[in-house]
Structure 1
Amino acid sequence: MTITTLPATAGVDDVCVDNVSAGRKTQPPAAFVSFPSSFTQSLITEALTKVLPDVGITHERDHTPRLQWADYDLMSFDEARHDPRFLISSYVYRKALIRKHLLHNTATEYLAKCRHRGVRSALSLPRGWVLDIQFADELDEALMDDLYELDAALCANEEKEEDEREWFILKPGFADKGQGIRMFSSVDELRAIFEEFEPPSDNEDEGCKMPVAADGQEGTAVLTSHMRHFVIQQYIPRPMLFDVHKGGMVGHKVSAFVVALIEIHLRAHVLVTGMYSVYLSHALFVLFAGVPYTHPRGPDLDLCPHLTNVSIQTGLALGIVLPLRDMAGATALAHSPEGYVSVGPVDAAWIDATFAKAGAVIAEAVRAGAECGSFNLQLMENAFELFGVDLLLSYPQGPSDVVRVPDVTLLEFNASPDVVNSGDALRADLLEMFEGIVRISAAPFFGCREGEMALGEDRWGWRKVGKGEVRASFA
């Protein structure tokens, strides 16, 4: 690998490495690559040098090269916003996807438009509400106003047996890594959550300290006055569970990265390029809960059987992230009136159908952002971005005596997914994924074109699942 830099005036057509074999004098392409995670940075560096052998990589941005592939906070956006000859690895504005409350609003508006048009959409979201609150004493007013449907459901729970209650998940709109995620089934439990998030003191010097858990640890608490925006989602009933004998995990909830049983949650790795194309990586991972699934109950609920976020599964998640393809042969469990029953092993056809369904849901979510969230999602021709998308698999309504393709529900988009959580054992899958990003996004930018992928085509470890169009705008 050569470490070189280029002047800002270098032209795109002058740096294609394929031109060397044609006998033309060229300058090598230059890239700024910098991520807080050394694991992610090493994968990107290796992928770039493998696909573009003459690339000059710098990890310090002392100038602005044509390609910036870096953490959002480390990039310079000024050049790319005004000059299409610069390529960046993130859209400047994409909060319509990555902020939970904005994604909920965007997708809800989009689905309402689809119903008005009489169009059936593949996009599926948990039933939910957005809450703007600073202090716990504001909750009662919110329940009477914007959250009246939630209030009715919580009141109805009071008349139900514990195993028949409907549960809900609270998520801070701006938090990540499992911060502030809680589950509840009653108004009192919801109120207790917000009281937990109150500052421990009104003293000016102490008012910004994080709340602490009962054991004195900061844990996953947040300050409501700092977060303000929350999304509340229905806890999806009938999660798809698996009897996974590998590692002795039976009946765990699974989460898949796209990137949870024995409940299943998928983490999908999704690439959005230009204005716009959407690609789904075959590095689609399944995340397992670290403990067996049980129906949620009680005020002191353990989140580990229900939420497969790796930050919540601390100390439990090692070795329980698998590629979806490795699920072939695993025994699926379906919900029945008598409880969960075995419906047999899943096969390659089930995996292919689940992958295709996940791609359709994700493509529709990006379309929703482009059509209904344009203020908070401004796509650019000279940008690409990798997202980690969380999806939940649940067993469809109907007979529970055969393996059926699951319902796929969108949970959230995550910017700059921390692929290190997938584990070093999956490094080969991740390297193929990043090499595909280079071929799809960076190589064509440097003039090395191998033909655009068709919708539905598989190439370089990716499938093209969506394509749209928005107007370009360079100031």
Structure 2
Amino acid sequence: MRVLLTNDDGPLNDEFSPYIRPFVQHIKKNYPDWELTICIPDRQRSWIGKAHFAGKSLNAQFLYSKPDADDNSYLGPFIRPQLDSVDSKLPRDTKNSDVSKDDIEWILIDGTPASCVNIGLYHLNSKSFDLVISGPNVGRNTSSAYISSSGTVGAAMESVITGNTKAIAVSFAYFNGEKHVDSSLVDLASKRSMEIINHLYHNWNDETDLYSINIPLSAALRPDTRILWTSIWENRWNAIFEGPDVAQLENGTEIEDGVEGSLITFRWQPFVRKHTDSRYLAKTTDKDVIEARMISVTPLRATFKEVEGLVGELSLNVNSNSNFFAITVDKHDYLYGPLVRAVKRYLPEVEVVSELPKGAKSIFHYGEYEQLDIDKLAMEPTNYFANSYIYRKGIIRKHFLAHTIHSYVVKNPTSILSKAALETFPLELDYAEFLDDALDENWELRQELEKNDRWWIVKPSMSDKGQGIRVFRTIEDLQAVFDSFDEDDTDDEGEFFDDNKIIISQLRHFIVQEYLHNPLLLPSMGNKKFHLRCYISCRGALEVYVYDRMLALFAPTSFTPLKNGAFSPTDILDLECHLTNTCLQTKTKEKDVSVTEFDRIPDLSQEQKSRIKSQIHQISHDVFLGALKVNAVNFQPLPNAFETYGVDFLVDSDLNVKLLEINAYPDFKQTGEELKGLIDELFDHTVRHLILPFFDESKSIASSENFVKVLDYTANNW
């Protein structure tokens, strides 16, 4: 969406134009898909209406501010633009290294707001604009007296009359002369303004040319402050100038500019005398609404004539016949861009919004688990869809996953899981001193540890990012590990240097898993241990897809086999060559983190890679089928949801694949910038295969290159 922004208060200025910076920053942060061009007067041009300086040629200058600035500082002015723009019609000088590509560009014109709009629409960019926003004005634009003189509304009117482009004028109404308010109030006013602008643009009334919005800068402003359709308060001005001082005129003898005596001066005093009251008291007027600290929206024709028929309260509820794609993850998140691009590619008719709309025909909601409406997900399977199941701890919690695999293998001993799952024991522990009691309750684990014939790894069942992972051999080693978690791990100066520790009582559930002693090592990668991160997606109840473009994540140092006496289970540095979690690696002294695409590894032939992928396909089929059949209480796929998991696998020296764990909401940014195309393709497949069918089942696709369906389960319909 291409948007032109102007105002009548001029550029960044604490006194005359304090609201435009936070307003623009709100747009940049929350509407990243907007292509925003800012063209404003070079100084305050209020009370100028839809005017132009007849016969005057206008000049441009350019300022640049930081997108996260908390003041009105800027670089410039420059006589040429300092940033590249493929759509710009203006000659550009991009040699200034002080200006960053992320900086906000402010185009200043030494003319009126209406002139800024006209120049913006016809001379700044090669592509047309979808919307003109004028404001936010410092002060209110209510009543015929103010609105007919307003440069803010005049600029919006210019957009309609000479550009035939939709326009919205925005004003922030302050009270008691206090235009400098707390920044949080300006931020809220910006948010409410953009909610209304977004709604009006997508629900434009055919009879309306432009809208005038007034937001109260009052402590009464809330996220749910009422929004009312209003008419213009038809007041009339009395004198807005104060007459000359008669005594001064009679006594004046000075000569000014060649004129004998004092000049006759009429001083600007528009707010001294009251204007007359409205002649239409029965209407809901903009003045009454803003005085009541509510939000007014006045629909206008380009002749200052009101639009009839829009009365009462304006609800931001959406058109009930529309389909929406609500993305509530942070717009700076690694996955946001690829997701939005894929949605626009395959669902061009679906509107992408940043908040969950009300009353829509169908909504697909992509967000963090805590942001989803769990009640809707469970109760409204035909009009609310989401990117997560409700119950899936049967696979994402390590001790539940071990139980799922064990139960399935007992009933299906020929399953690939019988050899792909490392031997695992659950362990429940409240405090380190109770380890002996916990092992008494889990006598099978005690027996295995007392053999002292192999190495083990202990992991908290519900943690992520490598927290609390340790390698050990004996019960004494395990006791030392848990004891170390309770120690004060600081140096003499109080610096905390091992933040990989955990608090036992907060987690309680652990697994003790057989340690893979013979990992596959690759000479080209320095013989470092690695694991494969594979993105596996489930849709409905139940299809399972494996994304064949996998990541190989390497330990920071070359692998050293474990030996008694040469390894300390409590020394985090001794773990470096054994643990491949990238989150853990960033905390070590050597920042030699290595992530590459599995298919790019030169040490393995295509046949060997295919063998590994084939095992992953089989494992994925069986583990999700097993969760569905033997642990249905803790894994309940829904027909109106899908979910993508980050699944980790190890490969041993004989090319046998071992399943490590399944992670919900995987951290896609560990892919890094170099491999970002891998995530772009993943979300392209995600929208095409998993999300598009929710809106149009006829467009369901079985499989495609790199996105392979490994399970299509249909329950018996008895």
Superposed CA offset, 1:398-427 (max 9, x none):
xxxxxxxx1111110101111101101111
Trace 1:362-401 onto structure 2 (pairs within 5 A).
362-396=620-654
1:451/1:43 CA distance change after superposition, 3 Å: closer
Note the C-alpha offset of 1:80. Answer: 2.1
Asked if 1:466 corresponds to 2:715, the answer is: no
- Cα distance in 2 for partners of 1:290, 1:312 equals 10
Name 1:251's counterpart in structure 2. Answer: 527
Note the C-alpha offset of 1:218. Answer: 4.8
Trace 1:357-436 onto structure 2 (pairs within 5 A).
357-396=615-654, 406-436=655-685
Name 2:559's counterpart in structure 1. Answer: 293
Note the C-alpha offset of 1:470. Answer: 4.2
Note the C-alpha offset of 1:144. Answer: 3.0
Query: Which structure's relative contact order is higher, taking Cα pairs within 8 Å and 6+ residues apart?
Result: 1
Asked if 1:82 corresponds to 2:370, the answer is: no
> Which of 525, 529, 537 in structure 2 is aligned with 1:271?
537
- Cα distance in 1 for partners of 2:645, 2:679 equals 13
Note the C-alpha offset of 1:212. Answer: 3.4
Superposed CA offset, 1:260-318 (max 9, x none):
xxxxx110000000010100012211111110000124224611211101111116566
Name 1:233's counterpart in structure 2. Answer: 513
Superposed CA offset, 1:75-120 (max 9, x none):
11212211222211000111111111111111111111113xxx43
Name 1:48's counterpart in structure 2. Answer: 343
Asked if 1:351 corresponds to 2:609, the answer is: yes
- Cα distance in 2 for partners of 1:318, 1:307 equals 13
Asked if 1:313 corresponds to 2:611, the answer is: no
Please, what TM-score do these two structures have when normalized by structure 1?
A: 0.77
Superposed CA offset, 1:198-252 (max 9, x none):
3x6xxxxxxxxxx5366633511111111010011010121111111xxxx4111
Q: Is the Cα–Cα contact under 8 Å of residues 386 and 416 in structure 1 kept in the other structure?
A: yes
Asked if 1:242 corresponds to 2:537, the answer is: no
> Which of 314, 329, 333 in structure 2 is aligned with 1:35?
329
Q: Is the Cα–Cα contact under 8 Å of residues 387 and 642 in structure 2 kept in the other structure?
A: yes
Note the C-alpha offset of 1:191. Answer: 0.6
Note the C-alpha offset of 1:45. Answer: 1.4
Q: For 2:436, what is the secondary structure of its paired residue?
A: helix
Q: Which structure would you say has the larger Rg? A: 2
Note the C-alpha offset of 1:9. Answer: 7.7
Q: Which runs of 5+ in 2 are unaligned?
A: 2-32, 34-197, 204-316
Superposed CA offset, 1:46-100 (max 9, x none):
2211222233222233547610011111111212211222211000111111111
> Which of 596, 602, 621 in structure 2 is aligned with 1:322?
596
**Share of identical aligned residues, percent?**
28
> Which of 481, 484, 489 in structure 2 is aligned with 1:212?
489
- Cα distance in 2 for partners of 1:84, 1:355 equals 34
Note the C-alpha offset of 1:367. Answer: 1.0
Note the C-alpha offset of 1:355. Answer: 1.0
Aligned length in residues: 391
Name 2:468's counterpart in structure 1. Answer: 180
Q: For 2:690, what is the secondary structure of its paired residue?
A: helix
Note the C-alpha offset of 1:373. Answer: 1.5
Q: Is the Cα–Cα contact under 8 Å of residues 253 and 288 in structure 1 kept in the other structure?
A: yes
- Cα distance in 1 for partners of 2:645, 2:535 equals 6
Note the C-alpha offset of 1:347. Answer: 1.1
Q: Which runs of 5+ in 1 are unaligned?
A: 12-26, 158-164, 201-210, 255-264, 331-345, 397-405
> Which of 426, 444, 449 in structure 2 is aligned with 1:130?
426
Q: Residue type of the partner of 1:212? A: D
Q: Is the Cα–Cα contact under 8 Å of residues 134 and 228 in structure 1 kept in the other structure?
A: yes
Q: Residue type of the partner of 2:657? A: V
Asked if 1:223 corresponds to 2:472, the answer is: no
Please, what TM-score do these two structures have when normalized by structure 2?
A: 0.52
- Cα distance in 2 for partners of 1:190, 1:58 equals 50
Trace 1:9-24 onto structure 2 (pairs within 5 A).
10=320
1:367/1:352 CA distance change after superposition, 3 Å: same
Q: Is the Cα–Cα contact under 8 Å of residues 282 and 463 in structure 1 kept in the other structure?
A: yes
- Cα distance in 2 for partners of 1:379, 1:9 equals 30
Note the C-alpha offset of 1:362. Answer: 1.4
Name 1:114's counterpart in structure 2. Answer: 412
Q: Residue type of the partner of 1:98? A: I
After alignment, is 215-224 or 90-99 more displaced?
A: 215-224
Q: Residue type of the partner of 2:423? A: R
Name 1:447's counterpart in structure 2. Answer: 696
1:351/1:59 CA distance change after superposition, 3 Å: same
Q: Is the Cα–Cα contact under 8 Å of residues 432 and 460 in structure 1 kept in the other structure?
A: no
Note the C-alpha offset of 1:365. Answer: 0.9
Name 2:396's counterpart in structure 1. Answer: 98
Asked if 1:280 corresponds to 2:554, the answer is: no
Q: Residue type of the partner of 1:276? A: L
Note the C-alpha offset of 1:192. Answer: 1.4
- Cα distance in 2 for partners of 1:127, 1:64 equals 50
- Cα distance in 2 for partners of 1:323, 1:226 equals 36
Q: Is the Cα–Cα contact under 8 Å of residues 321 and 422 in structure 1 kept in the other structure?
A: yes
Q: Residue type of the partner of 2:643? A: E
